């Protein structure tokens, strides 16, 4: 029993010791453990410290850099590391650094010199723990040794060495041409570029190119680098470059020539064809187009291969149609076109007649057999007339031609003077010349019942007269008409006298004054007795139908009350006063009446001016008494005057 208990406690202690241990902690990225112990497990409470790997620095300088074994687990490590930056490596004089990998630990930068400069030193530098390794290189300018000499030529300037970009200029002896570039330059590889030229004597013969002529460049003789620009004659095209340059090997390019322009066959046309038909046509070759029956060629029938390598535009074959409106002087039943070989029956317009067949057919060149099947109707001259003639006089007249007749003196045309050639081939009936009378004189106080204003009248014409307005016949049964007989008018019996309007009648309380009498045109004036006035029209005139207007009335004159006066009164006081009635004025006490105390209603319907009431010591103002617009003085003005 004791033995089992000892074994139990031993196992228990071993179990407790296992739970209190931590295994080797993970290091993590870019970090290392400081003083790495030579053990795989760590007892409870053990502490392990870390630091950043070479080339790395803490992200946060205050972050904890250690962990502790606690409860069989390590505490969380706060330390985080990032790559160290080497910063700016500095400038490369006459060059630059290429930062393809950046400037952090482990990156490599490459030095690059500007064109014409040569790198002296290390071309690359690396970002290390302590910063950029190596020193900055130097970019020194490229130097070239003098270029080679040439036969029969020289160059300048002559130096011991030449910096990048410097050049020398070659020249040849007189009479020789320089082949190549006269200027060579010190390049970035330490050599002159391009290759030095040569000095040679070069001439070229006149270029012999058939069907071509010079349009630009020098004329013979030709020397090195002279050029000519050529152009082929019309119908030929340049096969090769049109510009030739004289070189040491002759004209360049050497194979230029002029070849004749060719055309592919032209396009076919609907309802037609062309000939001859070939696979290829040369410049100015022609083809001829024809159309099928019932179609007409629109455009020129022959087309040529042009200098542009194409045929002129092809014509077209249009269906033949005929327009009925093109047939002259025909009544058109429809305005639409008729197709080829269609026939129609025609009807001529009025004044035209058919010549030959009245049927037309639409043919290749229009209507056949005749596009003008209707000819104008003609008339022989009309008959002559007695005492007259017509004009113009022709041997033949066409439809709607006219002639005009005129009569000899003393005669007048009966009916229309102008007649026309009709659609029946005859003139309208001719008029006649009748004897005539001149327009008659009207005479005094007479007028024609219907005055046409004619200058002459034909034989047998009867005109009727009547008396003018305000007149009447002297004899009621006298004849009132005249007749044209033998170129003279019969005698007119009608005589006229002024019409009388008769008496105007009595005018109560007045009378009519008739100084001009009571016949047509006279005026009567109404005059009322004294104390009466005219109401209505004062004058009346004798018209054709009697006195105009109505009788006026003579009414008794009435007066409105006279104006009141200051400091006085009048009696009797009525609304209206008859003619001759009087009123009497009187003044207040202490006032004296100046003027007539009694005034009467006058025949013009007004009272005379009233008197004035004044103080005894105030003299009346003459103007105040006599002026119709003045008023009597007021009491206030009277008292002011008194003072």
Three-state DSSP state, 7: helix
Give the confidence band of 621 by pLDDT, cuts at 50, 70, 90.
low
Q: Residue 128: what pLDDT?
A: 93
CATH architecture of the domain with range 561-642: Ribbon (2.10)
Q: CB–CB of 436/484 below 8 Å?
A: yes
Give the confidence band of 299 by pLDDT, cuts at 50, 70, 90.
very high
Q: Between 2.10.70.10, 3.40.50.300, 3.90.1150.10, 3.30.870.10, what CATH number should domain 510-556 receive?
A: 2.10.70.10
DSSP 451-518: ----SEEETT-EEEEEEPTTEEESSTTS--EEEEETTEEPPP---EEEPB------BTTEEEE-TT-S
Q: CB–CB of 206/228 below 8 Å?
A: no
Q: Residue 624: what pLDDT?
A: 44
Q: Residue 238: what pLDDT?
A: 92
CATH (residue range 203-260): 2.10.70.10
Reply yes or no on whether the pLDDT at 130 is more than 60. Answer: yes
Backbone angles phi, psi at 15, to 5 degrees: -65, -40
- Kindly list the distances between the CA atom of residue 602 and the CA atoms of 116, 235, 356, 578, in Å, as whole numbers in the listed order: 141, 129, 111, 9
Reply yes or no on whether the pLDDT at 334 is more than 90. Answer: no
- Kindly list the distances between the CA atom of residue 270 and the CA atoms of 266, 274, 292, 305, 413, in Å, as whole numbers in the listed order: 13, 11, 9, 21, 70
Q: Between 3.40.1190.20, 2.10.70.10, 3.40.50.2000, 2.40.70.10, what CATH number should domain 21-83 receive?
A: 2.10.70.10
- Kindly list the distances between the CA atom of residue 430 and the CA atoms of 396, 402, 426, in Å, as whole numbers in the listed order: 17, 12, 11
DSSP 222-282: EETT-EEEEEEPTTEEEES-SEEEEETTEEESTT-EEEE-EEPPPPP-TTEEEES--S-EE
What topology does CATH give the domain 439-498? Answer: Complement Module; domain 1 (2.10.70)
Reply yes or no on whether the pLDDT at 438 is more than 90. Answer: no
What is the C-alpha separation between 240 and 235, in angstroms, rounded? Answer: 16
Which CATH class name applies to 95-141? Answer: mainly beta
Q: CB–CB of 352/329 below 8 Å?
A: yes
Report pLDDT digits (tens) over 481-499. 999 887 888 988 888 988 8
DSSP 541-566: EEETTEE-S---EEEEPEEPPPPP-T
CATH architecture of the domain with range 378-436: Ribbon (2.10)
Reply yes or no on whether the pLDDT at 278 is more than 60. Answer: yes
DSSP H or E stretch at residue 397: strand 397-398
Q: Residue 208: what pLDDT?
A: 87
Question: Percent of the chain having pLDDT more than 70?
Answer: 93
Q: Helices in 20-95 by DSSP H: which ranges?
A: none
**CATH 2.10.70.10 domain residues, the chain:** 21-83, 95-141, 143-200, 203-260, 263-319, 321-376, 378-436, 439-498, 510-556, 561-642
First to last CA, the chain: 172
What is the C-alpha separation between 47 and 66, in angstroms, rounded? Answer: 7
What is the C-alpha separation between 629 and 460, in angstroms, rounded? Answer: 80
Mean pLDDT value across the chain: 87
What is the C-alpha separation between 444 and 474, in angstroms, rounded? Answer: 13
Peptide bond into 551 cis (omega under 30): no
Q: Mean pLDDT, to the nearest integer, of 163-180?
A: 90
Q: Mean pLDDT, to the nearest integer, of 333-354?
A: 88
Neighbouring-strand partners of residue 435: 411
What is the C-alpha separation between 588 and 233, in angstroms, rounded? Answer: 142
Other beta carbons within 10 angstroms of residue 595's beta carbon come to 16
Backbone angles phi, psi at 348, to 5 degrees: -75, 155
CATH (residue range 263-319): 2.10.70.10
Q: What is the CA radius of gyration of the chain?
A: 72
Q: CB–CB of 85/109 below 8 Å?
A: no
- Residue 102's region, left for phi above 0, alpha for psi from -120 to 50, else beta, is left
Q: Residue 56: what pLDDT?
A: 93
What is the C-alpha separation between 331 and 593, in angstroms, rounded? Answer: 114
Q: Between 3.40.630.10, 3.40.50.700, 3.40.50.300, 2.10.70.10, what CATH number should domain 143-200 receive?
A: 2.10.70.10
20-31 burial code (b ≥16 CB/10 A, e <16): eebeebeeeebb
Give the confidence band of 618 by pLDDT, cuts at 50, 70, 90.
low
Q: Residue 480: what pLDDT?
A: 87
Backbone angles phi, psi at 105, to 5 degrees: -50, 130
pTM: predicted TM-score of the whole model, two decimal places? 0.35
Q: CB–CB of 521/545 below 8 Å?
A: no
CA 586 to centroid of chain Cα atoms: 94
Reply yes or no on whether the pLDDT at 30 is more than 60. Answer: yes
Residue with tokens 């207040």: 588
Report pLDDT digits (tens) over 358-389. 889 999 888 888 767 889 999 999 998 888 99
| DSSP character at residue 17 | H
Q: Residue 619: what pLDDT?
A: 59
Q: Mean pLDDT, to the nearest integer, of 149-172?
A: 94
Reply yes or no on whether the pLDDT at 324 is more than 80. Answer: yes
Handedness of CA 326, 332, 334, 335 (dihedral sign): positive
Q: Mean pLDDT, to the nearest integer, of 247-253?
A: 87
Please write down the HEC assignment for all residues of 430-450.
CCEEEEEEECCCCCCCEEECC
Give the angle 639-642-643 at the CA atoms, nearest 5°: 90
Q: Residue 415: what pLDDT?
A: 85
Reply yes or no on whether the pLDDT at 276 is more than 90. Answer: yes
CA 542 to centroid of chain Cα atoms: 73
Q: Mean pLDDT, to the nearest integer, of 316-345?
A: 88
Three-state DSSP state, 406: strand
Q: CB–CB of 509/534 below 8 Å?
A: no
Q: Between 3.10.20.30, 2.60.40.10, 2.10.70.10, 3.20.20.450, what CATH number should domain 321-376 receive?
A: 2.10.70.10
Structure tokens at 419: 């007649």
**Torsion (CA) 275, 279, 282, 287 in degrees, nearest 10:** 10
Which residues, 6 or more positions from 16, have their beta carbon under 8 angstroms from its beta carbon?
Answer: none
Three-state DSSP state, 350: coil
């Amino acid at each position: 029993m004791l033995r089992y208990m000892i074994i139990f406690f031993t196992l228990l202690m071993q179990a407790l010791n296992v739970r209190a241990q931590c295994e080797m902690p993970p290091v993590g990225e870019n970090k290392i453990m400081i003083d790495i112990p030579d053990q795989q497990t760590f007892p409870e409470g053990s502490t392990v410290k870390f630091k950043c790997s070479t080339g790395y620095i803490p992200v946060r300088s205050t972050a904890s850099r250690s962990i502790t074994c606690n409860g069989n687990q390590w505490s969380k490590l706060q330390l985080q590391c990032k790559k160290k930056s080497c910063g700016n490596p500095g400038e490369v004089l006459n060059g630059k650094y290429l930062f393809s990998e950046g400037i952090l630990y482990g990156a490599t930068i490459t030095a690059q010199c500007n064109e014409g400069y040569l790198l002296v030193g290390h071309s690359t530098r690396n970002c290390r723990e302590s910063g950029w390794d190596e020193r900055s290189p130097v970019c020194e300018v490229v130097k070239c040794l003098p270029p080679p000499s040439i036969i029969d030529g020289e160059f300048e300037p002559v130096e011991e060495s030449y910096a990048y970009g410097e050049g020398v200029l070659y020249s040849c002896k007189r009479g020789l041409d320089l082949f190549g570039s006269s200027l060579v330059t010190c390049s970035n590889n330490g050599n002159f570029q391009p290759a030095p030229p040569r000095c040679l004597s070069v001439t070229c013969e006149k270029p012999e190119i058939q069907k071509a002529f010079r349009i630009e460049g020098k004329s013979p003789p030709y020397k090195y680098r002279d050029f000519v620009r050529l152009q082929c004659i019309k119908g030929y095209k340049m096969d090769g470059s049109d510009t030739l340059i004289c070189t040491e090997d002759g004209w360049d390019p050497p194979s230029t020539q002029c070849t004749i322009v060719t055309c592919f066959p032209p396009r076919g046309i609907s309802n037609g064809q062309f000939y001859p038909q070939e696979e290829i046509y040369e410049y100015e070759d022609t083809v001829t187009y024809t159309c099928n029956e019932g179609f007409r060629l629109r455009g020129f029938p022959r087309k040529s291969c042009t200098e542009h390598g194409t045929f002129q535009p092809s014509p077209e074959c249009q269906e033949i149609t005929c327009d009925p409106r093109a047939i002259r002087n025909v009544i058109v039943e429809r305005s639409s076109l008729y197709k080829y070989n269609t026939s129609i029956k025609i009807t001529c317009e009025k004044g035209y007649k058919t010549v030959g067949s009245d049927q037309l057919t639409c043919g290749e060149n229009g209507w056949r057999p005749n596009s003008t099947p209707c000819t104008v109707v003609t008339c022989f001259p009309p008959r002559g007339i007695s005492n007259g003639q017509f004009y113009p006089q022709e041997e033949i007249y066409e439809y709607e031609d006219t002639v005009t007749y005129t009569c000899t003196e003393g005669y007048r045309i009966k009916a229309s003077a102008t007649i026309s050639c009709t659609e029946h081939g005859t003139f309208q009936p001719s008029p006649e010349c009748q004897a005539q009378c001149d327009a008659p004189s009207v005479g005094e106080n007479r007028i024609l019942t219907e005055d046409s204003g004619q200058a002459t009248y034909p034989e047998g014409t009867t005109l009727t007269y009547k008396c003018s307005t305000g007149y009447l016949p002297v004899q009621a049964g006298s004849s009132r008409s005249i007749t044209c007989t033998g170129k003279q008018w019969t005698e007119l019996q009608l005589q006229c006298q002024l019409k009388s309007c008769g008496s105007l009648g009595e005018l109560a309380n007045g009378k009519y004054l008739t100084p001009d009498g009571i016949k047509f045109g006279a005026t009567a004036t109404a005059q009322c007795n004294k104390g009466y006035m005219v109401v209505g029209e004062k004058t009346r005139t004798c018209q054709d139908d009697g006195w105009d207007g109505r009788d006026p009335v003579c009414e008794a004159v009435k007066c409105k009350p006279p104006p009141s006066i200051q400091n006085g009164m009048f009696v009797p006081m009525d609304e209206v006063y008859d003619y001759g009635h009087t009123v009497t004025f009187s003044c207040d006490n202490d006032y004296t009446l100046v003027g007539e105390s009694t005034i009467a209603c006058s025949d013009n319907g007004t009272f005379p001016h009233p008197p004035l009431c004044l103080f005894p010591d105030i003299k009346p103002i003459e103007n105040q008494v006599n002026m119709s617009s003045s008023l009597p003085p007021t009491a206030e003005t009277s008292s002011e005057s008194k003072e």
